[in-house]
A and B are shown apart, each in its own frame.
Chain A
Amino acid sequence: MATRSFLVLIMALLVFLISTFTASLMQTNEIDLIENQEGKKLYISEDLYDLNGNKVAVESLLEGKVLLNVWASWCITCLVEHPFLKKVTESKDVELVGINYKDQDFNAEKYLIDNGDPYSFSVHDLSGSFSLKLGVTGAPETFLVIDGVIVSHRIGEVNMEVWNEKFAQYF
């Protein structure tokens, strides 16, 4: 009797293990382990300058709906998402502000001349310190800030699918 219940127990354990294993194999979407910045306040502790060297009015980033896009001329994926950003700014009422991440200003300007400029202006973050405090881990990244609060954060390329999932509901 004891051995029989023991066998049943072992079998149940085996079935459980195999089913969890197959379930983990079926899982296709990657789990985000690094927390994104959604729900946090946009905190600006330093003076910001745009690509022309003019000081940026910080209030303009903290009021209303602002889409922040981290980009750089050396970043290949930024070039991939660039046409989509242009399409979005043309077809919708979006204030798109660029954060030029660890980039030389002449390279950045050349990039904008070559590929078009969808940004209202771009913050020149040469050292990357503003982006680091914002929680940026690389380029490209896109933040939607509404009245100073980050409501949506995408690490990586923004395309139609991502736009519909993360940003479209706010526009």
Chain B
Amino acid sequence: MKNLLNIFKLIVALSLPFSLCAENLYSNLNPEELKRLNYLSDNIRCPKCSYGNISSSNAPISKDLKEEIAELINIGYSNEEIFDLMEKRYGDYVILKTDLDDNKTLFLVPLMILIISILLVTTYTIKKSK
């Protein structure tokens, strides 16, 4: 029994360095910057697998991109600059966040059609009921 305990202690002692290594991932970022890293990797598509963002993807390139973004944040790049860099490299297909300013017509046209059709239907029904 005592032997078993010693073996267990040995295993714990040997695995300690690995657990310490695991903590070092993105250790150069503070919590605020980590939040930014999560936001950015949630909103950038994996260029290799293209069905998901890089935070949900296990492709090696997604890991590389996350590390690159962490480094860029560390150097002092803003979110916009990082999005621009990724867009320049892989095209706007990889940017998952929607830019409202660039797509005004896309958002406004359905809304206008809805309003116009509501107006038409209400005027038609009011006319009919008279």
In the assembled complex, A83 has its CB within 8 A of some CB on chain B: no
How many chain A residues touch B (CB < 8 A): the figure is: 11
When C-beta atoms are compared, the residue in chain A nearest to B65 turns out to be A132
Residues of chain A contacted by B47 (CB below 8 angstroms): 34, 137
User: B113 CB to closest chain A CB, in angstroms?
Assistant: 15
Known: A102-B60, A128-B60, A132-B68. A138 touches B93 (CB 8 A): no
Residues of chain B contacted by A102 (CB below 8 angstroms): 60
How many chain B residues touch A (CB < 8 A): the figure is: 13
Proximity string of chain B (57-71) to chain A, C-beta cutoff 8 Å, 1 when within and 0 when not: 000110011001000
User: B91 CB to closest chain A CB, in angstroms?
Assistant: 3
Is the pair A34, B93 in contact by a Cβ cutoff of 8 Å? Answer: yes
Residues of chain B contacted by A132 (CB below 8 angstroms): 61, 64-65, 68
- A102 to B59 CA separation, bound complex (whole angstroms): 13
When C-beta atoms are compared, the residue in chain A nearest to B85 turns out to be A133
User: A105 CB to closest chain B CB, in angstroms?
Assistant: 19
In the assembled complex, B90 has its CB within 8 A of some CB on chain A: yes
In the assembled complex, B2 has its CB within 8 A of some CB on chain A: no
Within 8 A of B (CB), among A95-142: 102, 128-129, 132, 135, 137-138
Interface residues of A (CB under 8 A from B): 33-35, 37, 102, 128-129, 132, 135, 137-138
5 nearest CB pairs, A to B: A35-B91, A33-B93, A137-B48, A137-B47, A34-B47
A and B contact pairs by CB, cutoff 8 A, 19 listed: A33-B93, A34-B93, A34-B94, A35-B89, A35-B90, A35-B91, A37-B89, A128-B60, A128-B64, A129-B64, A129-B68, A132-B61, A132-B64, A132-B65, A132-B68, A137-B47, A137-B61, A137-B90, A138-B61
Interface residues of B (CB under 8 A from A): 47-48, 50, 60-61, 64-65, 68, 89-91, 93-94
